[in-house]
Structure 1
Amino acid sequence: MDQIESRRISSIEKTQQRDRWTLEEDNLLRQTIKKCGTSWCQVAQSFPNRNPNSCIQRWKRLKGKNKKKKVKWTLSEDNLLSKLVQTQGKRWNEISKNFIGKTNKQCMERYNNSLNPNLNKNPFTAEEDEFIYQNYISIGSKWSQIALQLNGRTQNQVKNRFYSCILTSHLDVQNPYYTKLSSEQAKEILTKARQEHKGKLLLENVNLNKEFEQSQLNFMACDSQSFQVEDDDFYSNFHTLA
């Protein structure tokens, strides 16, 4: 039993060592980002055993070592921010002047993503998922435009929901950030999937229209027969009275 446990611990340690980033990899990551920017699919091509998401997470850690720790919003700051928005509106440049170390963008994101009283923090419903899917197929990744049509949802909420759930559940496509695809390959897959589903939805709409037209024709035919029966009854009764 002790030998089995020892082997298990040894296996875990080897996995951790294999997954741990080396100093050489860190330096290569810095050089690659300096050359390619944050196109993560392209960056990951320089690392045979790393996917784009792994590169993203490592870069976040490296950046964290080179700058001060991000200061969280305090309760008093949140209260002040909410009050300023109520009295001044969403004038972020002016509002940010009331905070030390907070930019106008940080103030805007904090309010929109956390403090807005109209913000919907409930789990996404099946209807919302379907709505996001339908609109993505129709207009693409215009998240802000899609979010405006969903009650209390932000652009970030919609985008995150799409990539974390809808991309797989509705389009049957794996998130490209978790693969070794290049940025161009990922784009091609998403474009192809969107085009295929767009054609599928159009075909479904055509079939629905045909079914509706057929039901209308059936209704008109039944209605016509009903009128004919009523006319026959009328004339039959008329002749009886005569």
Structure 2
Amino acid sequence: MESRTSKSKKKTQQQRERWTLEEDNILRKIIRKYGTNWCKVAQSFPDRNPNSCIQRWKRLIGRNKKKKQKWTIKEDCLLQKLVAAYGNRWNQISKHFTGKSNKKCMERYNNCLNPNLNRKPFTQEEDEIIYQNYICLGSKWAKIALQLNGRTQNQIKNRFYSCIIASHLELQNPYYTKLSPQQAKETLLKARLEHKGKQFLENENLYNKEFELSQLNQSACESQSFQVEQEDVYSNFHTLK
């Protein structure tokens, strides 16, 4: 169980991570001055990294849009009926909505309304599948989602960044550090290539061991066959006598 001290530290950290109105105003001024040079922007915030500033800015400029684009119960019901009628023809479906793009309709259905959506906690087996596919494919979440029934690419992406980076790549999420987005991307690429190299060596060693074992088995079979032949010759010789 976590101690009260550790819990209080977590609460303090969460409170510190929340953006204040003062910080929001500073962020607006800094962006007007430097634009989207996020490394420069983050220098004005001692406890913020570039990615944190990016995400906060996206929220600030997207608040009004989100309010306008919020899905109603009536729209959800209509979307379900349209999917039943048209399938995945999102271009046709989006025509029945005002202010909803093809992508928005697809994401709303796949991430929230799809009856086949798996909302259960991820299993160790699923984590391993995500990890193995990430090593091979990188961040192609849509392709990885094809390997997991009922999981959306958004679920898989969130699972990777919230858990698998630490549990399988043994890294702190680089986007939560002081690294720039490009540096964070390069850090993940380096880790992926290292793990890919390790897997190659492990597979090669396994192949060599299996080959050696097959050679030993073959030698044992040949030796046994030779022994049987010798016994047959010896038996025939005594029979002729």
If the length of structure 1 is used for normalisation, what is the TM-score? Answer: 0.78
Aligned equivalents of 1:59 and 1:89: distance in 2?
A: 36
Q: Which stretch shifts more, 45-54 or 215-224?
A: 45-54
| Contact 1:42/1:182 (<8 A) preserved | no
Partners of 2:161 and 2:170 lie apart in 1 by: 11
Contact 1:53 1:178 in 2 (8 A): yes
Q: Which has the larger displacement, 83-92 or 52-61?
A: 52-61
Q: Is residue 30 of structure 1 aligned with residue 31 of structure 2?
A: no
Whichever residue aligns with residue 92 of structure 1, its letter is: W
1:179 maps onto 2:155 in alignment: no
Shift of 1:214: 0.6
- SS of aligned partner of 2:213: helix
Pairwise mapping of residues 142-181 of structure 1 onto structure 2 (< 5 A)? Answer: 142-181=140-179
Counterparts in 2 of 1:98 and 1:67: CA distance versus 1, 3 Å: closer
**Which 5+ residue runs of structure 2 have no aligned equivalent?**
1-10
* Aligned partner (choices 47, 60, 63) of residue 62 of structure 1: 60
Cα offset, 1:236, TM superposition: 2.7
Task: Trace 1:221-236 onto structure 2 (pairs within 5 A).
Answer: 221-236=219-234
1:124-154 alpha-carbon deviations (Å, 9 max, x no partner): 2222222222222222212112222322322
1:166: Cα distance to partner? 0.8
Relative to 1, partners in 2 of residues 1:105 and 1:17: Cα closer, same or farther, differing over 3 Å?
A: closer
Q: Which amino acid aligns with 2:20?
A: W
Task: Evaluate the alpha carbon distance shift between residue 179 and residue 42 of structure 1 in structure 2; reply closer, same or farther with a 3 A threshold.
Answer: farther
Q: How does 1:21-170 map to 2 (within 5 A)?
A: 21-23=20-22, 25-33=23-31, 35-37=34-36, 43-52=41-50, 54-55=52-53, 58-59=56-57, 62-63=60-61, 66=64, 69=67, 72-170=70-168
Instruction: Pick closer, same or farther for the CA change 1:67–1:146 going to 2, 3 Å.
Output: closer
Give the Cα separation in 2 of the matches to 1:193 and 1:215: 33
Partner amino acid, structure 1, of 2:219 = A
Question: Residues 70 and 215 from structure 1, CA distance in 2 versus in 1: closer, same or farther, beyond 3 angstroms?
Answer: farther
Distance 1:67 1:107 in 2: 15
The alpha-carbon distance between structure 1 residues 188 and 86, as it changes in their structure 2 partners (threshold 3 A), is same
Question: Size of the alignment, in residue pairs?
Answer: 228
Matched with 1:5 is none
Q: Which moved more, 1:108-117 or 1:59-68?
A: 59-68
The residue type paired with residue 149 of structure 2 is N
What residue number does 2:6 align with?
Answer: none
* Distance in 1 of aligned mates of 2:236 and 2:27: 96
Residues 51 and 181, structure 2, Cα contact 8 Å, conserved in 1:
no
Q: TM-score, normalised by structure 2?
A: 0.79
Identical aligned residues as a percent:
60
1:118 aligned counterpart, secondary structure: coil
Give distance in 2, aligned partners of 1:17 and 1:188.
28
Which ranges in structure 1 are unaligned for 5 or more consecutive residues?
Answer: 1-11
Specify the alignment match of 1:220 in structure 2. 218
Shift of 1:108: 0.8
CA contact (8 A) 1:45 1:182 kept: no
